[in-house]
Copies of this chain bind each other. A is one copy, B any other.
Amino acid sequence: MKTKKLINDGAAAVDEMLAGILAAHPRHLRVVEGSPRSIVANEGPRPGKVGLVIGGGSGHEPTFLGFVGKGLADAAAIGNVFASPPPDPIIECAKAVDGGAGVLFMYGNYAGDVMNFDMAAEMLAMDDIEARTVLTTDDVASAPIEQRERRRGVAGNVFIFKAAGAACDLMYSLDEVERVARWANDRTYTMGVALSPCSLPQTLKPNFQLGDDEMEIGMGIHGEPGVARGPLKPADQVTSELLDRILGEMKAERGDRVAVLVNSLGSTPLMELYIMMRKVKMMLDAAGIEIHLSLVGNYCTSLEMAGASITLMHLDDELQRLIDHPCDCVMFRSGEASR
């Protein structure tokens, strides 16, 4: 059985999506001339400001394009579904947003993205544009804590990009933006659970199989294997399993503050996310941890995959200020769904 999708031609889906995004949001976003997979915030880049370029495969919307806008990322380089963009659109993004203060690349830690962004950075160096990189590695399930640098980047991107984008908007130097970005990543933890697969527009076939009563804890946003497969449990128990693992690593003390994201992987509705949020709040209350800000909804998806993830960012005063800094993106405004 093929998955039903409202598309025209699987091979054209990403470009037609981008055309729709530009049609819907012309005052916020523009495409770099001659580089249709390089999308720039109209009001983002400016002289003397570090340019923040994010990007990666499509299919995770609103990640990445939804986070391009004043106060957050300046540009996104867009790949095919679940595939890294090649170096060219990354280079064009960097050139378009370079304000003379350097460029920071931020994206999830996946081999294809690392290869292409690194290649772009090397080529930009020849044009005297300094491009540094901070990889996001918030997915707790994807490698042990001792090998944090091997972990994948997932929904925590939202908070990590947000902190770095605010630092750019506040005219921090490239050194300082890089420091903030690394710190934001170090303090951000995500655990997810998958209930059913998605299918790519080109194949319309499920990208993995799960039994009719099964869930998989820790599955990645491209269907990468997780850490435990078993029968679906009640939401409170699933939430506990995810959050216990995060809290075990985070080492928060009573009185500490966090930003919370309860994210749908695609088709899991708000009703279920808020049921999980209820349990998150109960557990954080019990631990004496204060919720400074909550986001609940579709922030980092895997097309129509069913499932959810929980992210905590362990705030300090600086991260809190940066997370609260206003931003104006087409699919995200600071304060939206928050507090």
Contacts and interface: CB of A to CB of B under 8 A. Distances in A.
Interface residues of A, number: 78
A129 interface: no
Interface string A64-78: 001000000000000
Given A13-B275, A16-B275, 15 more contacts: A4-B212, A6-B195, A6-B272, A8-B234, A9-B234, A16-B235, A16-B278, A17-B275, A23-B280, A25-B337, A61-B271, A66-B270, A270-B331, A297-B298, A336-B336
A70 to B, nearest CB: 12
A182 interface: no
A277 B28 contact: no
A251 interface: no
B28 A62 contact: no
30 contacts: A4-B196, A4-B213, A4-B215, A4-B306, A6-B193, A6-B272, A6-B275, A6-B276, A6-B307, A7-B234, A8-B236, A9-B234, A13-B275, A14-B271, A16-B275, A17-B270, A19-B274, A20-B273, A20-B277, A23-B278, A23-B281, A25-B294, A25-B338, A62-B270, A81-B271, A201-B271, A270-B301, A271-B303, A298-B298, A333-B335
Interface in A171-220: 193, 195-196, 201, 212-213, 215
